[in-house]
Structures are given as C-alpha cells and as structure tokens.
Amino acid sequence: MVQCEMCGAETGSPKTVKIEGAELQVCADCADFGTEVTQAESSSTSTKYSTSSSGSGSSSSTTSSGSSSSGGGGGRRRDMFDEMEELASDYHQRIRSAREGEDLTQEELANSINEKVSLIRKLEHGDIVPSDEVQRKLERRLEITLSGESEAGDDEWESGDSDTGLTLGDMVKRKD
C-alpha cells in the first residue's frame, strides 16, 4: 500500500498525476485535481522539475542556446529575479536630496512627472516603493539612479554574531 501524496490516504493503485507542474502519486479521488501522466511521458523528462515541454533533442538545444539559464553544467537555475535590478534601500533619501538639489518643491516635482504630490511625499518618507514607471520618471527627471545598493551593502543578509542580543528562543518558556 502506498500513501497518496496529496491527502495521505492509503491506496493500492496510485496514479501519477501532474498538478500545477509537479508529478504526484495520488489516490483515485485526488486524481481529479490534475491531469494523468502516462509512463512514456514521465520517463522522457529527467526530473519532475524539468522546464522542457518534450524530450526531443531540438527543444533542449534551443533552450541551451537561447539562454544561459540551465546549460549543462550543474549551475544554479536562473529566474526572472536574476535579471531585475534591486531598488536601493536609501531610495527615499536619493529622491529627496536630488529634488532639493534642484531647488524643487514636492509640488513642482509631482507636476513635472505628472504624478500626485501625495505620491512624492510618501516616496520621500519611504512609506511606499515606486512602481517601475514612476521609478523611470524620477530617474529621468532628477538624473539619478534608484536601483543598486547604497554604500551600506547587504548588511541585512549577513549572519549575526553572538552579541546580537536576545532571540525569540531566549524569551519563550516551554510547557513540557
């Protein structure tokens, strides 16, 4: 007896079903949630996370020549976030200092990029993050870049030392 990978029920004859891109061994009741995969189809792909739609050689050659995402060499898979530039953590300070450097009021800047004054105010306070379109308008108008990291770098991603203070685990009292 095998356990269904969706509901956990015991089943004697599991079905291989593709649900949201993943191949699962499920019971007959859960098989309705996806499309049944035939054995020939599942054996043509190397893993259940493969991005190729068929096992033919022509599609794999176009994939490897079309992008360097998953060529042949065990590297990390690329995704859409690899190609995006990250918004600087001090974007609000950059906007304010550039605006003040040009002796513009928030109203004048808002009018020049055809946006609301309240948007400029919220951006300068760091309350909201600019959309891609507003970011491009501000960068063009103020001749600044809002992407990239400030001088501080990625300090927030570094592991902490032992002298970083209390953690949640230090404060919790367990009832055993």
What does the domain layout of the chain look like in residue ranges? 2-42, 91-142
Give the range among 31-35, 69-73, 119-123, 140-144 with minimum mean pLDDT.
69-73
Q: Is pLDDT larger for residue 33 or for residue 99? A: 99
Class of domain 91-142: mainly alpha
Tell me the pTM. Answer: 0.42
**Each residue's pLDDT tens digit, 51-81:** 444 444 444 444 444 444 444 455 667 666 6
Helix/strand/coil (H/E/C) assignment for every residue in 54-85: CCCHHHHHHHHHHCCCCCCCCCCCCCHHHCCC
Sheet containing 22-26: give its strands across: 22-26, 15-19, 35-36
Contact 25, 48 (CB under 8 A): no
